[in-house]
Structure 1
Amino acid sequence: MEVLSVKRQSLWGPVRDFATCRGIAKGPVFIVASGSSAKDFPLQRFADIPMITLNGAISMFEGSGIRPFFYVCTDTGFPLQQPDLYASALSLSRRLALWPDEIEAAQTSTSAEIYPLTKASRSTLYESAFNPQPDVVRSREFWRSRSRTLGFSKDLSAGYFDARTVAYAALQIAYHVGFTQVFLVGVDLTQAAGRFYETAGRAISPCGLDDYFESRILPSMKLMADRVVDERFSVYNLSQTSRIPDAVIPKVSVEQAEDIIFSGLSF
């Protein structure tokens, strides 16, 4: 009923269910995040490859002529803290993944397809132990209460699992829409290094990466690496300074990424 309410009240027109975009894509995709290493990514070199971008990383697309395949924002404070970047996201992106409240409160028009985000339900003991839904991969550590909120959703109709980094939501969207090779850009997860777009004179949004890296971010990435990544779905990290260990998500150079995409190699 919540999604139906959004459809009636949104100033943007029709709001779509995630089921309507399942399996619409294939091949490689770049997930462009806001870590400081993203400033070195040659965006135009991969202009023909779909891009999913997050929060303030939309600034890389301004004036580029490249429209993100998806824009994802899970930070409810971001539209108020960075209104100009948020407006750019609404204007430039082909699809938006946002909270229902953000959709209802929107005052700016957009031609993008709009998909309301919902969180996957907390696992019951039975779901943690037996994982009865193959498209909802849940942590098996059912004896730990916190672990019952960890998982990976292959079908966003069932909601997504929040790892306290929007990049993890984007990974679930990439799987949902059908991409098979995912390349992470700017997923440094280093709070002290800041975001590449937070230059002098620009507002700085709060950051809690250090608070959640060990308890939520890294366990979620490990779960994905162990139980989701396979011959059909691979993930690579272009950030050489990322806190995600190479054993969890392998680090590759831009040249290696090109080889994977255009030559069919793997690393």
Structure 2
Amino acid sequence: MKLRDEFFKLIYRLTHSKRYKHNRKRWPYVKISRGVCGQIIDFSYKGKQVPIIDLKSLENSYSGKLVIIASGPSINRITFKHSQLVPTLGVNGSYCLKDKVNFNLYVITDIHFFSQRPDIVKQIISNKELLLFLQVDGLVKIINLFGYKSILCKIALIEDAFKRTYEPLRTLSEIENDSQRNKSIYFYSNKNKEHESLAFETNIAHGVFPAKTVVYWTLQIAAYLGFKQLYLAGVDLNNFHLPRFYETPDNITYSQLELDFEKNILPAFEHASDVMNKLNVEIKNMSLDSALDSHIFEKKAYDEIF
């Protein structure tokens, strides 16, 4: 099997330019079809189709408040007593709070997380009431780890805006000059700061812009879904040597957040703050010790809000 996979990768490499490199593990096993807005509407892997939710059906399907739970250690200081009527979105390992929190939405973008914490992933995909946003490679990883029948949650496929499935790698300038793509995007350019290519997409059917942190993906998703009040929990972005709230010193996993913070993550959240103000979306950061200053997102304690 591994030999055959390597053969297919070799064939793909010989028949495609470097701009298609991100697709080499998908071909020829992954088959997709796209809707009128470019979103993936059908997905199959090794000949078996997996039901997915059309992203266009989710546009502005929500309103009001959303609690977003990340993985910073400050989570341990929150009681999580908010009403069941307030939707909650989790990322990565925050599902460990499932006994305290009723998760409605979930986002996983780190391809390594599936192998590092398969115990958590298995619980997530077993929840029939949950809508999970993930990339094509993440769905493939789940199928290989647990099988098709293990997926009971609803699936919505999102894509890195630079590396869409079976399309060539695109630069930010190419996207910015594409009149069919740039209408829903807020581009970021701060000449006083060194930063990587950065933008904020309000129509995630076209793709989502990464910024070295799953929370940035999540903000774009939340805006697209129609939420107007976002409450961030566990977005600490400091004390990087400490375990995430669901880890122990013995099973802590490597993170590049500290390396990426100044050049990528901080400018991304500054940009997101500006965009959300323009979209009339209010954001409160419930991590009072977060490395994100209050000028980015106002800080307010959980108990003051709920």
Give the TM-score of the pair, scaled to structure 2.
Answer: 0.74
SS at 2:44's partner residue?
helix
Match of 2:160 among 91, 116, 119: 119
Contact (CA 8 Å) 1:136, 1:158: kept in 2 or not? no
The corresponding residue for 2:134 is: 98
Match of 2:271 among 196, 199, 223: 223
Change (3 A) 1:78 1:21: same
Whole-angstrom distance in 2 between the partners of 1:86 and 1:60: 13
| Residue 51 (str. 1) matches residue 88 (str. 2) | yes
SS at 2:71's partner residue?
coil
For residues 139-194 of structure 1, give each alpha carbon's deviation from its aligned partner in whole angstroms, at most 9, with x where no partner exists. Answer: 135999954x2011111111111111111111111111110000000000121233
The corresponding residue for 2:246 is: 197
Change (3 A) 1:7 1:248: same
SS at 1:239's partner residue?
coil
Contact (CA 8 Å) 1:3, 1:100: kept in 2 or not? no
Q: Which amino acid aligns with 2:182?
A: Q
Contact (CA 8 Å) 2:181, 2:206: kept in 1 or not? no
Contact (CA 8 Å) 1:3, 1:116: kept in 2 or not? no
Change (3 A) 1:119 1:250: same
Q: Which amino acid aligns with 1:181?
A: Q
Match of 1:170 among 209, 218, 229: 218
CA RMSD of aligned residues (A): 2.9
The corresponding residue for 2:66 is: 29
Change (3 A) 1:120 1:126: closer
The corresponding residue for 1:244 is: 292
| Residue 14 (str. 1) matches residue 51 (str. 2) | yes
Contact (CA 8 Å) 1:14, 1:114: kept in 2 or not? yes
| Residue 79 (str. 1) matches residue 114 (str. 2) | yes
Contact (CA 8 Å) 2:66, 2:87: kept in 1 or not? yes
Contact (CA 8 Å) 2:66, 2:88: kept in 1 or not? yes
Change (3 A) 1:232 1:146: closer
Give the TM-score of the pair, scaled to structure 1.
Answer: 0.85
Change (3 A) 1:197 1:145: closer
Select the structure with the greater relative contact order (CA < 8 A; seq sep ≥ 6). 1
Change (3 A) 1:67 1:253: closer
For residues 62-102 of structure 1, give each alpha carbon's deviation from its aligned partner in whole angstroms, at most 9, with x where no partner exists. Answer: x34x4422111111111111110111111236111112022
Contact (CA 8 Å) 2:184, 2:202: kept in 1 or not? yes
Change (3 A) 1:12 1:250: farther
Whole-angstrom distance in 2 between the partners of 1:119 and 1:125: 15
The corresponding residue for 1:214 is: 262
- Unaligned runs of at least 5 residues, structure 1: 259-267
Contact (CA 8 Å) 2:70, 2:90: kept in 1 or not? yes
Q: Which amino acid aligns with 1:7?
A: F
State the Cα distance separating 1:135 from its structure 2 match.
Answer: 1.9
Whole-angstrom distance in 2 between the partners of 1:145 and 1:187: 23
Higher-Rg structure is 2
Q: Which amino acid aligns with 2:140?
A: E
Whole-angstrom distance in 2 between the partners of 1:100 and 1:145: 31
Whole-angstrom distance in 2 between the partners of 1:43 and 1:143: 39
State the Cα distance separating 1:200 from its structure 2 match.
Answer: 5.3
Q: Which amino acid aligns with 1:118?
A: E
State the Cα distance separating 1:111 from its structure 2 match.
Answer: 2.5
Report the count of equivalent residues: 254
Change (3 A) 1:151 1:2: farther
Q: Which amino acid aligns with 1:91?
A: S
Identity across the alignment (%): 25
SS at 2:298's partner residue?
coil
